[in-house]
Structure 1
Amino acid sequence: MPVIVQTLEDASYQDQQRIYRDAPPWLLAPFSGDVDLIESALADGSLSAGRLNDRLLGAGRLQRHNDVWYLSHLCVRKVTRHRGGAERLVNQAQKMASQAGAELCLLAPAGHLED
């Protein structure tokens, strides 16, 4: 089954409770917490979520510019970790950026981005 990546214009209460529930504090910076991050990303249209069989896998902030897209604050729900969920989200975001003629760059604090 393919992972469906979609920009969220609004997030259900259930999604808001799940998206960053398991996120480590360093992932939420510079925001004051998960609610602040979600509200900010919803306001600027950058909150993207990955779903598999209509179930929320994870989410991230996907900021789209002409030549480059930035993916940050990527968090996969604890129950779906170690199953390739984050990789599938990144691959789909990369495909979408490429189709738009842009490069995808991953943003993370130093020491928190794996090769």
Structure 2
Amino acid sequence: MPIAVQALNDASYQDQQDLQKIYRDAPQWLFAPYSGDAQLIENSLADGSLIAGRFNDRLLGAARLTRHDKVWYLSHLCVRKVTRRRGVAERLVNQAQKMASQAGAQLRLLAPAGHLEIQALAARLQLPLDVIAT
């Protein structure tokens, strides 16, 4: 499945619908420090931190990529439930890692404390995991 990863600065109506579908089934803890999916999507689009995986003109996964001088943080990573286990999240992470490396920065995952699934992802992808301050 060839997934194109891109920064999502201008979201079309269809992109907005796809983003809502992506985050609809996400666990509530994923949205911290935001109140929910709408606030996460709105803020991420407004500050230009949203990246998304696209296949056949539809968004299948998304995440926030926050850029700092030496460290970039990937957070709020989510893939549509019907598309999970097909490499979309890994493709998003790999592309974010490549972008950070090209900018001379290290990529780190960022998530709320105490969630085994994100700890397992960080370990599998061999990425450092930092805790979101809530």
**TM-score normalised by length of structure 1:** 0.89
Q: Which residue of 1 aligns with 2:14?
A: 14
Letter of the structure 2 residue corresponding to residue 105 of structure 1? R
Percentage of matched positions with identical amino acids: 77
The CA distance in 2 between the partners of 1:3 and 1:18, in whole Å, is: 15
**Unmatched tracts of structure 2, length 5 or more:** 124-134
Q: Which residue of 2 aligns with 1:45?
A: 48
Letter of the structure 2 residue corresponding to residue 10 of structure 1? D
Q: How many residues are matched?
A: 115
Letter of the structure 2 residue corresponding to residue 54 of structure 1? D
Q: Which residue of 2 aligns with 1:85?
A: 88
- The answer to whether the 8 Å contact 2:5/2:91 transfers is no
The CA distance in 1 between the partners of 2:94 and 2:114, in whole Å, is: 21
More contact order relative to length (CA 8 Å, sep ≥ 6): 1
The CA distance in 2 between the partners of 1:17 and 1:36, in whole Å, is: 14
The CA distance in 2 between the partners of 1:76 and 1:96, in whole Å, is: 20
Q: Which residue of 1 aligns with 2:132?
A: none
Q: What is the root-mean-square deviation in Å for CA atoms of aligned residues?
A: 1.5
Query: Quick one: which of 74, 80, 105 aligns to 2:108?
Result: 105
- The answer to whether the 8 Å contact 1:3/1:92 transfers is no
Q: Which residue of 1 aligns with 2:57?
A: 54
Q: Which residue of 2 aligns with 1:76?
A: 79
Higher helix share: 2
Q: Which residue of 1 aligns with 2:67?
A: 64
Report deviation, 1:55. 2.4
Residues 86-112 of structure 1 show CA distances to partners (whole Å, capped at 9, x for unaligned) of 111101110111111111000112233
Q: Which residue of 2 aligns with 1:25?
A: 28
Give the stretch that moved more between structures: 9-18 or 67-76. 9-18
**Unmatched tracts of structure 1, length 5 or more:** none
Residues 24-49 of structure 1 show CA distances to partners (whole Å, capped at 9, x for unaligned) of 11111111111111111111110111
The CA distance in 2 between the partners of 1:69 and 1:46, in whole Å, is: 11
The CA distance in 1 between the partners of 2:7 and 2:54, in whole Å, is: 11
Change (3 A) 1:94 1:4: same
Query: Quick one: which of 36, 39, 43 aligns to 1:36?
Result: 39
The CA distance in 2 between the partners of 1:14 and 1:70, in whole Å, is: 27
